[in-house]
Each structure stands twice: as C-alpha cells, then as structure tokens.
Amino acid sequence: MSLRAVKGMKDILPDEISKWHRLERAFRDRVEGYGFREARFPIVEPTALFVRTIGETTDIVEKEMYTFTDRGDKSLTLRPEGTASAVRAYVQHSVQGREPVTKWYYIGPMYRRERPAKGRYRQFYQAGIEVFGDPGPYIDAEVIDMVVGFIASLGITEVEVLVNSIGGAATRQNYTAALLAYLEPHRDELCADCQRRMDANPLRVLDCKVPRCVEIAADAPPILKHLTDDDRAHFDRLQEALTKLGTPYRIVGSLVRGLDYYTGTLFEVLGKGEGLGAQNALLGGGRYDQLVKSLGGPDTPAIGFAMGLERLLMAMPEVESESHVDVFVVAAQPTVRAEAALLGRELRETGLRVESDLRGGSLKSQLRRADKMNTRIAMILGESEVAAGAVQLKDLRAQKQHTVFRKEAAKRAHEILAG
C-alpha cells in the first residue's frame, strides 16, 4: 500500500512556491509598514487553551480539533487558529509591562478537521495580526484599511468588506434576551446543535450553516439595534474613519463569526471573483476585549484578523513565474568540471543564483537543462576559455553569445539581468 498525505492536507512543491513567497513577502512588507513585528508560536498547545478561548459550543471545538493525549497524559491540540496562542504568549510573557500597545503578526499552518472542499483544507495556512492595548475605534479602521489595501495590492480587485458590531457584555446581555424571545417559537425547527446553543450561547445560532437555521437566523432581530450608547459611538466612529480612509464597506447586522471571544467590531472580506467557489471568505477578524483578562492577564483591549493564504492564492491573478536560476554554468569538456564548480562559486558570491550540471554530459544536454529552467544566461567554460581567463556568455533570451573576461563575467550577468 502506498502512503499518501493525510486527507485534506496538501504538499506544496517548488513549482508553486514562488507564488507563496510572493504573497508572504508582500504581507510582511505591508504589516511591517504599520509597525507590526513577527511572533512565532508553537503549533501544539494545551487543549484547554482553545476550549476556553474559542468556546465550547463552537464548531471548531465541538467537531474540528485534532486533539490527542501525549505520552505524559496531557491533552494537546494542533492549533486551529492563531489568536489563542498569541493571547496566551502575551499573558505568559507579561508583554503589557514592556509597551502600551503591542502589534504582532504571524504566518503559519492551522489544523481543522473540516470536510475538505475546494478552498477548505484540514491543514491550511493563515497570516494574521493582533493589536493589544488599543481600545479603538481608530485602530479598528486602520487595521481594516491596511488589509483591504493589502488585498488590492495582490491584484485581487473583486472583494467585499463586511463590518458589524456585536458590542460588549452589556449589549450582548440586552440582545440575548431579544434573540431568545425570537428563537423560542422556532426551537423545534432548529438543528440539534442550535437547540443546545440556544441554552449555551444563543448568538452561535446566527452562525449555523444548516439551511433551515440560516433561514430562521435571517429574520432574527439585528444586534445593531441593541448596542449600548458606548458601543454605538464606537461603531459610528469606526464608520467615519473608514469613510475618511476611503475604504468601502457594507454593514451586515447578521455577521457574528464562529468564535466565542469576539466583542464589538467584527469584519470579514469576501472574494467575489471566479476561482474561489463557495469558500469565498478571504479573511475574518474583530475585537476581543475580554480575552486577555480571561486568560489571567490584565484588562487589555485587542483586535486582530486572520487570512487564509490558499484562498488568497486562488484569488490572485496568475503571473508568469520567474526562473529560480540566473546563470547556468556549462562545462564544455569533462576536464573543466572542477573549474566550472569554482566559476559557479565566484558568481554566487556576487549574489547570482547559479546552477550547473556537475554530472557532466554533452554541451547540448547541459544547455537544454538551462533552457528548461528558463535561465536567462549560460556561461560556457572550455579548456581554451580557462587558458585565456575567459568565459563564453550566452544570453539565452536574446540568443547572443560572446566571449568575456572571467573577472568581468559576474558584472556582465548582473547588467543583463537588470535589463
């Protein structure tokens, strides 16, 4: 029996990787431009971390976590998302004592045992940010504006930005009563999960994907009508700031998102272009003002988002992939193979990416490999070139070849590559 990757988990081979690198580099550049710094957290965490933060009645915790008992009888879980770890680390390292506002970003794999589909995997990658210590609303607007600008910079133009507010504890208390009054007559029509959610966390019912529950949720009273004055003022300021920044958005009162820790501002960006299919949520985020405290830290407001990298890659326009090699060094005779290795090293020391076929082979077969790699330049070294301190430099795109001094070869290659 041949072994294959776990269902829903994919290999990313080198032919695909340049797109990933481009995306990750663009993300780093963008968020570092706003003062975010990278943090890396363990992929495995104590199970209790996710149960306590994401929430016991959420789909992730109820159905999707990869949880196992290690050899020390501890219950561990492969992280299904990044915020819980970030908050745990923020509290564990008493980061609040070092700076009033902390801005972190992360990139890495997440694990959820969902039903695999196009754009939905069991191991997928997220890039996200977290801001600790700023109650908003201006940081909320800046974060939304930052990520919308980032997505546009990837060439993804057809997007929709959804925003909502679910307010703080007081708003939620008011709203829960109104929501329950609305749901109660429909209790028997709801799915078994939602019937349980009604008692544990009624807001969760609004996030159910079962068709009949979706229909019932659509007519539920909107939470925005139940915001306290403070929560309303926050949401109004956020909208004013987004308008000032020129970020288009749509208010969607039914947006609650599937995790328990959110408070106040929520947002999601949907991809509208073809290619994404049904899994069109590119990113989601929001405020979680109670989470740091609930994990034993000081009262610290916070906001963050996470984007699915696979979905961004699916939505990004195709660009011609560049060669991963600048120069292919060709040894014209077996006697100069060691000399060719030396030339390769000289060229690499100037920053060029250099390949060669040190197994040897005919001149023609070596040049064919250079061509296959879409390399721009070949440098051919034979006995006469070695004797003369020269190389044959062939521009494979222009199909021009001439002899250059070996000590000038790297400079010439850089000039050709710079166009």
What one-letter code names the amino acid at 81? Answer: E
Q: Which of residues 67-86 bind ligand AMP (CB under 6 A)?
A: 81
| Joined tokens for residue 351 | 């920053």
How far is it, in rounded angstroms, from Cα 139 to Cα 304?
A: 10
Q: Which of 107, 147, 281, 332 binds ligand AMP (CB under 6 A)?
A: 281
| Joined tokens for residue 63 | 């159905």
Site for ligand AMP contains 114 (CB under 6 A): yes
The smaller minimum CB distance to ligand AMP, of residues 311 and 394, is found at: 311
The smaller minimum CB distance to ligand AMP, of residues 36 and 305, is found at: 305
- Shortest Cβ 65–ligand AMP spacing (Å): 12
CB-based contact 63:208 (threshold 8 Å): no
Q: Which of 124, 150, 261, 262 binds ligand AMP (CB under 6 A)?
A: 124
Q: Which of 79, 120, 186, 376 binds ligand AMP (CB under 6 A)?
A: 120
Q: Which of 87, 282, 330, 340 binds ligand AMP (CB under 6 A)?
A: 282
Q: How many residues bind ligand AMP (CB under 6 A)?
A: 18
Q: Which of 143, 154, 213, 283 binds ligand AMP (CB under 6 A)?
A: 283
Q: Which of residues 305-364 bind ligand AMP (CB under 6 A)?
A: 306-308, 310-311
Non-local CB neighbours of 232 within 8 Å, separated by 6+ positions:
none
The smaller minimum CB distance to ligand AMP, of residues 262 and 328, is found at: 262
How far is it, in rounded angstroms, from Cα 199 to Cα 179?
A: 12
Site for ligand AMP contains 287 (CB under 6 A): no
Site for ligand AMP contains 27 (CB under 6 A): no
Site for ligand AMP contains 45 (CB under 6 A): no
How far is it, in rounded angstroms, from Cα 128 to Cα 108?
A: 9
Site for ligand AMP contains 112 (CB under 6 A): yes
Site for ligand AMP contains 284 (CB under 6 A): yes
Q: Which range, of 118-126, 213-221, 358-366, 373-381, touches ligand AMP by CB under 6 A?
A: 118-126
Q: Which range, of 23-31, 275-283, 340-348, 382-390, touches ligand AMP by CB under 6 A?
A: 275-283
Which residue of the chain is nearest ligand AMP when measured via CB?
308
How far is it, in rounded angstroms, from Cα 351 to Cα 346?
A: 9
- Shortest Cβ 132–ligand AMP spacing (Å): 18
The smaller minimum CB distance to ligand AMP, of residues 205 and 281, is found at: 281
The smaller minimum CB distance to ligand AMP, of residues 128 and 301, is found at: 128
Residues binding ligand AMP (CB under 6 A): 81, 112, 114, 119-121, 124, 126, 258, 281-284, 306-308, 310-311
